């Protein structure tokens, strides 16, 4: 079902408010949302308050104005063309050819029934910068020629998107695992152990089915100062720091 046009006036009120980024383009009969960086606007299709349609855009009906001089020039160019053969001899093949470009209806008259004549139309777009030349082909290859301002193509920069673009996640700081660290790990009974001067050698999961991923690996392989490896549970790692770093953390007495 076709929605009704907005009647609540919210768009017009927003457009009048200079602090609001909504504006009305009278030429196109459109409401726009200006982009903050000045790179263009988004076209508003619906009123955000009542859900009604924004006013009908004049975008498609805008066409370029033919000056008298240009109309005269095209008139001169085409004045002797009477048949399809004349036109093609003068301009070559048309840019577009519609088999039924024009229908001519002759109303019922003095007992003769109404007749409908479907005429092909050939269009030349390259004869003028501002106008297209339409050649209507009547029976017996007679032609009628008309000029029509080319449509103005208004570049729309961006459609209104309801969903804001997601911010790309900040890259995580990389930890240099080629260096050695003192790695503090939690042990049962609230004990903490430290692996001094150890190196994070790798990570892995235990007894996963072939091809499966745990999401993140369950264990971290530490190369201890003596060169031997130990796998520690990833979750047991409390902190790590450069070898010999003094921990300046204070222990708070329970209250």
Q: How far apart are CA 209 and CA 207, in angstroms?
A: 6
Number of residues that bind Zn ion (CB under 5 A): 7
Q: Check residue 50 for interaction with Zn ion (CB under 5 A).
A: yes
Among residues 22, 47, 84, 133, the one that binds Zn ion under rule CB under 5 A: 47
Instruction: For Zn ion, give the closer residue by CB, 53 or 218.
Output: 53
Residue among 120, 163, 114 nearest 139 (CA): 120
Q: Which stretch binds Zn ion (CB under 5 A): 29-37, 43-51, 100-108, 139-147?
A: 43-51
CB of 14 to Zn ion, least distance (A): 10
Q: Which stretch binds Zn ion (CB under 5 A): 51-59, 105-113, 141-149, 174-182?
A: 51-59
Q: Check residue 143 for interaction with Zn ion (CB under 5 A).
A: no
Q: Check residue 52 for interaction with Zn ion (CB under 5 A).
A: yes
Q: Name, in order, each residue with C-beta under 8 angstroms of 246's C-beta and a sequence gap of 6 or more.
A: none
Q: Check residue 33 for interaction with Zn ion (CB under 5 A).
A: no
Give the CB-nearest residue to Zn ion. Answer: 47
CB of 86 to Zn ion, least distance (A): 55
Query: What residues make contact with Zn ion under the rule CB under 5 A?
Result: 6, 8, 10, 47, 49-50, 52
């Amino acid at each position: 079902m076709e929605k009704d046009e907005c009647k609540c006036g919210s768009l017009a009120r927003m457009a009048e408010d200079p602090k609001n980024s909504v504006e009305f383009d009278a030429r196109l009969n459109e409401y726009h949302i200006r982009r903050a960086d000045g790179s263009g606007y988004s076209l508003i299709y619906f009123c955000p308050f009542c859900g009604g349609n924004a006013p009908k855009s004049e975008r498609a009906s805008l066409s370029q104005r033919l000056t008298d001089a240009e109309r005269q020039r095209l008139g001169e160019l085409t004045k002797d063309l009477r048949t399809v053969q004349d036109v093609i001899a003068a301009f070559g093949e048309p840019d577009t050819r519609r088999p039924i470009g024009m229908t001519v209806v002759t109303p019922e008259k003095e007992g003769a029934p109404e007749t409908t004549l479907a005429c092909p139309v050939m269009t030349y777009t390259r004869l003028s910068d501002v106008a297209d030349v339409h050649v209507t082909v009547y029976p017996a290859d007679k032609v009628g020629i008309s000029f029509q301002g080319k449509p103005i193509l208004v570049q729309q920069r961006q459609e209104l998107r309801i969903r804001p673009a997601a911010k790309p996640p900040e890259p995580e700081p990389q930890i240099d695992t080629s260096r050695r660290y003192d790695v503090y790990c939690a042990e049962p009974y609230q004990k903490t152990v430290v692996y001094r001067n150890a190196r994070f050698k790798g990570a892995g999961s235990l007894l996963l089915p072939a091809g499966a991923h745990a999401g993140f690996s369950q264990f971290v392989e530490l190369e201890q100062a003596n060169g031997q490896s130990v796998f520690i549970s990833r979750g047991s790692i409390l902190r790590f720091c450069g070898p010999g770093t003094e921990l300046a953390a204070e222990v708070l007495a329970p209250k």
